[in-house]
Amino acid sequence: MDKNIITLHGQAQSLVWELQEGAAPLWRYWGKRLPDDADIPLRGEAPAPSFSLDKNIGLSLFPCFGHGWYNQSALLAHRGGQDFAQSITSCHVERESESALCFHMEDAVAKLKFLVRVRLCPQSDVLSVTTTLTNLAETPLVVERLANAALMLPHDAAHVRSFTGKHGAEFNTQEEALGRSIWVRENRRGITSHADFPGAYVLMPNAGEHDGGVYGAQLAWSGNSFQALEWLDEGCRQWQLGAWLAPGEVSLDAGGSITTPELLATYSPHGCNGVARNFHAAIRARLNWPSGTMRPRPVLLNTWEGFYFKHEEAKLKSLAAQAAKLGVERFVLDDGWFKGRVDDTRALGDWVVDAEKYPHGLAPLAQHVTQLGMEFGLWVEPEMVNPESDLFRAHPDWALQIAGRPHLTARNQLVLDMTNAAVQDYIFNALDALLRTLPIAYLKWDHNRNLTSAADAQGRPAYYKQVQALYALLARLRTAHPHVEIETCAGGGGRNDAGIFQHTHRAWVSDTIDPRARIEMHKGFLHFFPPEIMGAHIGSVPSHSTGRTQHIDFRAGVALAGHLGLEYDISTLDSQEKTRLKHWIARYKQWRDHIHGSEVWQGAHTDAISWQAYGREGAWLLFIVRQDMQRLRHMPDLRLPFVDEARTYAITQLEPEETEHAPLHGAWLKQQGFPIAQMQAEQVSIYRLQVI
Ligand code: GLA
C-alpha cells in the first residue's frame, strides 16, 4: 500500500483518503468494505478539462473556498473582510488506533489550525467526526459556516430520505431524487426542531429497506443545523453537516477555538435497516444510564391528556392506586403542579408547588406513589418563562431578547438566556430543591417553543451557546442527582437528536398518540434511535389530536415496542378495557427485555400492511400491522428478510390469540414468505419465531 493512502476499515465499510502535498487529504472512497490487502492506486493527475484550473482540485476531507474550490466550503470565515479565502497548506495524520485518525491541518496563510478527528467504531460501524478550528492569529476570526468536514458520496447516489414534520406530526419520511442542484436543509428554530431533523439517509440505486448500499448521517446537536448534498464536477457528491450559525454568532479571539457538534455517519450494504441498526448500536453506546446500564424500561402513566392543568390531589392519588393495580411502575405528574399554573398563559419560571392544588406540597402525592411501589416523575420546562410570572417580573432581562424589538411570545412564553450564569444557577437551584426534597426519580424536560430573537446580554446571537449551556445544566444536574432519569420533550418531538440523548433517557416522540399517526412517526424515529427510548403511549378515545377512535388492542399493539406509557384517565375505563390494558402491560413486561436492545427490522408489505421484527439469538418477535381493511382477495405471503436461510423456525402466534403454527424453513420464509392470516383494519398480530 502506498504510504500516501490512508484507510479506515470497519465491519462492512471502508474509507480511503490520499495524502496530498500541502493540502487536505483527498477523498478517494467511502462505501462497501474493501479487502485489507486491496492495493489502492494513487489518483494521479486528473486531466484538466477546458476552462478549468490547470491543477484539478478534488474533494478533500475539508474543502475550503480559498483555493479553487467552487462548491460548498466547509468553512466560511474572515477577519474584518481579510483572510476570507482559506486553504489547507499542511496536513499531518496521526493514527490514534486501528479505528481512529486525527488529521492535524493548518492554513499557514490565514493562520488557522484544524483538527479533524475521525473514529470508526468497531462495534457499531458508525463513524464519528468532529472538527476543531483554532485561530492562530492575533486578530479575531468571524466564523460564518463550519461543517464537520465533508463526506464523499458516489456519483450515482440516487435518493435522499429525510425527515420533516410539525408539532403533532413528527418524523415524516420524504424521499427525493438527487439531481445536479444542491439539496439543502437548514434549521434556524434554535432547537432540533420538528421540521428539519439534522440527519438523512442517502440511497444507492436499487437500495431498499433490507438490501443495497445506503449511507446515513446525523448530527448530535440540539440546535440550529444545516446539511447540504452537492453534486461535484469531478464525478461524486459531497455531504456536509454542521451547526448553522447566525450572523456574527461565532468570533474566535487570538488562540480561540470552536469544536463542531459530533457527526455520526455510517454506510451499510444491508439497506436502510442496516444503517438503522448501526445507529441504534451507536446511540445505545452513548446513552448515559444511571448506574451505568439500562434497567427494564418501566411502564409509566403520564397525567397530561387525562387531566391537563386540572390537578385534584385526591383524584390523582386514586388514579395512582388504580395505575399500580394495572402494573404501572412510574407515575409522571405533568404540567399544572406549580404556583398559579391554571393554564398555559402563566407561571413558567416559578418552580414552587401550587399551594391551592397541593396545600401540603407535593410530598403527600409523591410518597403515596412511592408507597404504591411506583416511581414518581415530574414535568418541568426549565428554559422557559411566562411574562405573567414572578420570575419575569423580578428579572425581565433574563429572557432572550433584542433591545428595541418586541418580545415574540409563543404559547405565551419566552426563552430564558441560559448563557447567563445567574439564570443557570436559578434553574439549577430550583430543580435541585425539588429533587432534594421530593422522591423524584424522573423528570420530563420540556421546551414548548422555537427560539426567535435569541440575543444574549451583549446583544450577540446566543443560539449555539444556548445549546451548550443546556448540556452543561443537564450535566450539572445529573452529577448532583445521578439516579434521576430524564425524558426529552419539546412540544412532543421537537428535540430528539443524538446530542440530547447523551443527557436524557427517553424521547416524547409526539403529542399525537393516535396509533395510526404513530406508525409513520415510529418508523421515522427508528431510522436513528432505538426503540427503548421511544416514548409510546396508550391514550384515550377518541384521540385528542385526531378525533379517531381505535380499539385498545390496536393502541397497545402500536405502542408496545417503544417505552410504554399510558396517558389517559384510567379511572373512567370499563372493566373490559381495564382487563385488556392489564393484559398488554403484562405482555410488555414479558417482552421488553427482548425488544429493548434487540436488532430491529422494519418493512412494508402490500395492501396496508407494515411490519417490524425485533430479534436476538435466533428468537424474533414479529409485529404485523394492518392499518386499513384488506382490499386484496388473498394476501400474498410476507417475505421475511431477517431470518437465517439455513435454519427452521418454530412459529407461535401470540396476539390476538395464542396459536401454534407448523414450523417453517428460513429459506421458505425469506424467499416465498410468511402466510398472513386474515386481519381486521387497525389490528396488530404478533408472532414469535424461534430457531429450532
Ligand atoms: C407539551 C408536551 C406535552 C405536555 C404539555 C404540557 O406540549 O409535549 O406532552 O407535557 O407540553 O404543557
Ligand 1 atom with least separation from CA of 511: 8
In the annotation, is 446 catalytic? Answer: yes
Q: Are 375 and 332 in contact (CB under 8 A)?
A: no
Q: Distances in Å between the alpha carbon of 458 and those of 167, 243, 401?
A: 32, 22, 10
Q: Grid coordinates standing for 354?
A: 401550587
Q: How far does residue 495's CA lie from ligand 1's centre (Å)?
A: 13
Does the beta carbon of 86 sit less than 6 angstroms from any atom of ligand 1?
no
Report residues of the chain scoring pLDDT below 50: none
In the annotation, is 37 catalytic? Answer: no
pLDDT at 251: 97
Q: Measure the CA–CA gap between 109 and 509, rounded to whole angstroms.
A: 48
The catalytic residue among 446, 456, 497, 514 is 446
Is the pTM for the entire model greater than 0.85? yes
Q: Are 222 and 470 in contact (CB under 8 A)?
A: yes
Q: How far does residue 492's CA lie from ligand 1's centre (Å)?
A: 7
pLDDT at 506: 98
Amino acid at 495: R
The catalytic residue among 125, 354, 511, 514 is 511
Does the beta carbon of 508 sit less than 6 angstroms from any atom of ligand 1?
yes
Indicate the DSSP class of residue 55.
Answer: S
pLDDT at 408: 95
Prior bond of 261 cis (ω within 30°)? no
Q: Measure the CA–CA gap between 677 and 269, rounded to whole angstroms.
A: 32
Q: How far does residue 508's CA lie from ligand 1's centre (Å)?
A: 9
Q: Which residues contact 62 (CB under 8 A, 6 or more apart)?
A: 24, 74, 75, 88, 103, 105, 114, 116, 131, 149, 150
Does the beta carbon of 379 sit less than 6 angstroms from any atom of ligand 1?
yes
Q: Distances in Å between the alpha carbon of 239 and those of 71, 236, 431, 526, 566?
A: 11, 10, 41, 22, 41
Q: Measure the CA–CA gap between 306 and 541, rounded to whole angstroms.
A: 11
- Substitution candidate for ligand 1 out of 411, 489, 537, 566 with most atoms within 8 A of CB: 489
Reported as a single tens digit per residue, the pLDDT across 396-413 is: 999 999 999 999 999 999
DSSP states along 18-42: E--TTSPPEEEEEEEPPPTTPPPPP
Q: How far does residue 105's CA lie from ligand 1's centre (Å)?
A: 46
Q: Measure the CA–CA gap between 607 and 141, rounded to whole angstroms.
A: 58
Ligand 1 atom with least separation from CA of 334: 10
Q: Measure the CA–CA gap between 388 and 36, rounded to whole angstroms.
A: 65
Q: Which residues contact 398 (CB under 8 A, 6 or more apart)?
A: 385, 391, 392, 416, 417, 420, 422, 423, 426
Helix axis angle for 552-559 and 575-595, nearest 10°, is 20
Q: Measure the CA–CA gap between 125 and 123, rounded to whole angstroms.
A: 6
| Helix or strand (DSSP H, E) at 322 | helix 313-326
Reported as a single tens digit per residue, the pLDDT across 615-674 is: 988 999 999 999 999 999 999 999 999 999 999 999 999 999 999 999 999 999 999 999
Q: How far does residue 662's CA lie from ligand 1's centre (Å)?
A: 47
pLDDT at 157: 98
Q: Where are the alpha helices (DSSP H) in 514-604?
A: 515-525, 552-559, 575-595
- Which CB contacts under 8 angstroms, 24+ apart, belong to 603-612? 603/209, 603/210, 603/273, 603/641, 604/209, 605/636, 605/638, 605/676, 606/632, 606/635, 606/636, 607/631, 607/632, 607/635, 608/681, 609/635, 609/638, 609/676, 609/679, 610/519, 610/523, 611/638, 612/526, 612/561
Does the beta carbon of 445 sit less than 6 angstroms from any atom of ligand 1?
no
- Substitution candidate for ligand 1 out of 511, 521, 543 with most atoms within 8 A of CB: 511
